[in-house]
Amino acid sequence: MSGKEEKFWEKFCESLIRLRNAGEMLQQLVHGTVAEQEGQNEIHKLALAERSARPLLYERMYRAFHGQAESETVRLLVEKAESLIAETDEVALLPLLYASSEDQKMAMLAELVQHALQELERMAGYSSTLEENYMKAEARAQKILNYEIRGINCYREALRQLMEETRGPASLVWQKEIYERLRHMLVEAADCAVLYRETCGISG
């Protein structure tokens, strides 16, 4: 790995640490273990910090990767990670999120998101030592893909239960959106794992 690539991965890992922290805060919001305003503010600060760091991250990316296929894969990986932290910021503002501590399916989806983002950060942490930690990186990627599958199953069951309940229509709409956004975050995390595999030549 070239020095330029190492500098890129170092900066990208910093982005994933912010993403992991945002995921942990979102999980605490869903479980009701942090105050609503405090959680929102912390996630928003992380999203703003990520936005500020973006120019340098892209600069290092363009310096490190020159082949068309490789640079396109890395660009998609970076954009997916950016999308994830932006979505975390948006989900934290949704109504009903803070009355969700009794909602086991929502809590489970949020926990799966948190674990997936945590594994994403750990997986990318092997980038500079991939020759020695090839199997560890692959194991992290597989965990993320497994979280996605579990999340899809949880989402389906949550929707089934939601349709059987007799809440008001507005409540149902907002709750369904939260389920969908959390499920989408798991899909995006799985996409990141696949793109990382491609970038680093890891075969799943």
Domain boundaries, the chain: 3-200
Q: Hey, how many other C-beta atoms are within 10 angstroms of the C-beta on 130?
A: 15
Quote the pLDDT of residue 118: 97
Using CA atoms, how far residue 96 sits from 80, 100, 117, in Å, is 26, 6, 23
Distance CA 24, CA 69 (A): 33
| Residue 34 pLDDT greater than 80, yes or no | yes
Architecture of domain 3-200: Up-down Bundle (1.20)
CA gap 191, 14 in Å, rounded: 19
Residue 100 has pLDDT above 80, yes or no: no
Query: Considering only 14-23, 80-89, 164-173, which range has the smallest mean pLDDT?
Result: 164-173
pLDDT band at residue 110 using 50, 70 and 90 as cut-offs: very high
pLDDT recorded at residue 147: 97
Nearest to 141 by CA among 187, 70, 192, 186: 192
Q: What is the mean pLDDT of the chain?
A: 89
CA quadruple 192, 194, 200, 202: dihedral sign: positive
